[in-house]
C-alpha cells in the first residue's frame, strides 16, 4: 500500500520557489518523512528528512504540518538543474525499507 | 570519497547469457542495497546486506538472480540466464547505518536482447 500521495507532475519558473506537496495521512508517530530526487539517467539523491519539526539544509526546506499528515518540500530558487523526479517517502528508523512511489516530475522552465 | 561506484554503466547482452553487475559501496558504510528500476514497476529493492551478510532478499524476482558481498568493498548481482524482461537500470546504494540516508550509484543500464 502506498504511504504517500504526490502530484504526478509540476512546473516551476526558473528562479522561483518550487513547492512540492506530499500527503501521508496514515503516517505513524515513529515514521520520518524523507525526500529524494532523481535527475534523468542518474541514481536517486537524498535531499532532506524530518520527523515533526521543519528542517532546512543547503538544498531545500521541509515543512511538515502540525498533524504530520502532509508536508511540502521547498526549493527556494529553482534552477534548470533541479528538473527531476522528486520522491516523498515515509519510513521509520527501525528497519523499514525505502519504498519509492512514482514521485512528482518537476520541470523547471526558463 | 568517490561515492558508490558501479560497473559497467551499460550492458547489452543476448538472452540466455550470464550477466554480472558490480558495486563498490562508500568506504565505511555497513549497509549495501541493490535496486532495479523499470518504467512499469518503478524503483524496487531487490536485496540488502549488513556487514557483508544478506539480510533481506525477498525482492529478488527469481532464482536466476543472485547477489554476493565477499567483502566490505565489493558486491555483485548476477543474472543467469538473462531474459529480455530483465532489461532495466540496476542501482546499488549504501548507507552508514540501517536508518541513515542511502547514497546511490549511477546505475547499470542492462539490455537483454
Taking CB atoms and an 8 Å limit, are A101 and B42 in contact across chains?
yes
Q: Please name the member of B4, B45, B103 whose beta carbon is closest to the beta carbon of A97.
A: B45
**pLDDT grade for A105, boundaries at 50, 70 and 90:** very high
Residue A101: CB atoms within 10 Å: 17
In contact, A46 and A109? CB cutoff 8 Å = no
Mean pLDDT of chain A: 93
Q: Hey, CA dihedral for B86, B89, B95, B99, is it positive or negative?
A: negative
Three-state SS for B86? helix
d(CA A103, CA A82): 14
pLDDT tens, residue by residue, B41-93: 999 999 999 999 999 999 998 899 999 999 999 999 999 999 999 999 999 99
**Scanning every residue of chain B, which has its alpha carbon at the shortest distance from the alpha carbon of A49?**
B101
Report d(CA A18, CA A65) in Å as an integer: 18
Taking an 8 Å cut-off on Cβ atoms, the answer to whether A43 and B104 are in contact is yes
pLDDT given at position A53: 87
Q: Looking at the complex, report in whole angstroms how far the Cα of residue B25 sits from the nearest Cα belonging to chain A.
A: 14
What residues in B contact A42, CB-CB < 8 Å?
106-107
CB contact under 8 Å between A43 and B99, yes or no, is no
B12-41, pLDDT tens digit by residue?
999 999 999 999 999 999 999 999 999 999
Confidence at A2, pLDDT banded by 50, 70, 90: low
- Are A21 and A103 in contact by the 8 Å Cβ rule? The answer is no
Q: What are A6's three cell numbers?
A: 504526490
CA distance B48 to B53: 8
For residue B1, what pLDDT is reported? 64
Q: Which of A9, A22, A2 is nearest to A100 (CA)?
A: A2
User: Distance, in angstroms, between A53 CA and closest chain B CA?
Assistant: 18
Q: Do A93 and B105 touch (CB under 8 A)?
A: no
CA atoms of A36 and A47, how far apart (whole Å): 5
Q: Whose CA is closest to A87, among B67, B19, B43, B76? A: B43
pLDDT-based confidence at A98, cuts 50/70/90? Answer: confident
- The minimal CB distance from B99 to the residues A43, A93, A99 is found for A93
Chain A residues touching residue B98 (CB < 8 angstroms) = 95
What percentage of chain A reaches a pLDDT higher than 70? Answer: 97
The model's pLDDT over A18-59, given as tens digits with 9 standing for 90+, comes to 999 999 999 988 899 999 999 998 999 999 999 998 999 999
Amino acid at each position: 500500500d502506498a504511504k504517500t500521495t504526490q502530484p504526478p507532475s509540476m512546473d516551476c519558473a526558473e528562479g522561483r520557489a518550487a513547492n512540492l506537496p506530499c500527503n501521508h495521512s496514515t503516517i505513524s508517530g515513529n515514521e520520518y518523512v524523507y525526500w529524494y530526487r532523481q535527475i534523468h539517467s542518474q541514481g536517486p539523491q537524498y535531499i532532506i528528512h524530518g520527523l515533526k519539526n521543519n528542517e532546512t539544509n543547503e538544498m531545500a526546506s521541509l515543512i511538515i504540518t502540525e498533524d504530520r499528515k502532509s508536508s511540502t518540500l521547498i526549493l527556494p530558487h529553482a534552477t534548470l538543474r533541479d528538473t527531476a523526479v522528486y520522491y516523498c517517502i515515509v519510513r521509520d528508523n527501525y528497519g523499514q525499507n525505502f519504498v519509492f512511489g512514482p514521485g512528482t516530475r518537476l520541470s523547471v522552465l526558463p | 570519497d568517490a561515492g558508490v561506484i558501479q560497473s559497467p554503466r551499460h550492458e547489452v547482452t543476448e538472452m540466455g547469457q550470464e550477466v554480472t553487475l558490480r558495486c563498490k559501496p562508500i568506504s565505511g558504510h555497513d549497509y549495501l542495497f541493490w535496486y532495479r528500476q523499470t518504467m512499469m514497476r518503478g524503483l524496487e529493492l531487490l536485496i540488502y546486506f549488513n556487514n557483508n551478510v544478506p539480510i533481506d532478499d525477498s525482492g529478488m524476482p527469481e532464482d536466476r538472480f543472485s547477489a554476493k558481498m565477499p567483502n566490505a568493498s565489493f558486491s555483485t548481482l548476477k543474472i543467469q540466464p538473462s531474459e529480455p524482461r530483465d532489461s532495466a537500470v540496476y542501482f546499488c546504494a549504501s548507507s552508514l547505518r540501517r536508518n541513515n540516508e542511502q547514497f546511490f550509484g549511477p546505475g547499470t543500464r542492462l539490455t537483454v536482447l
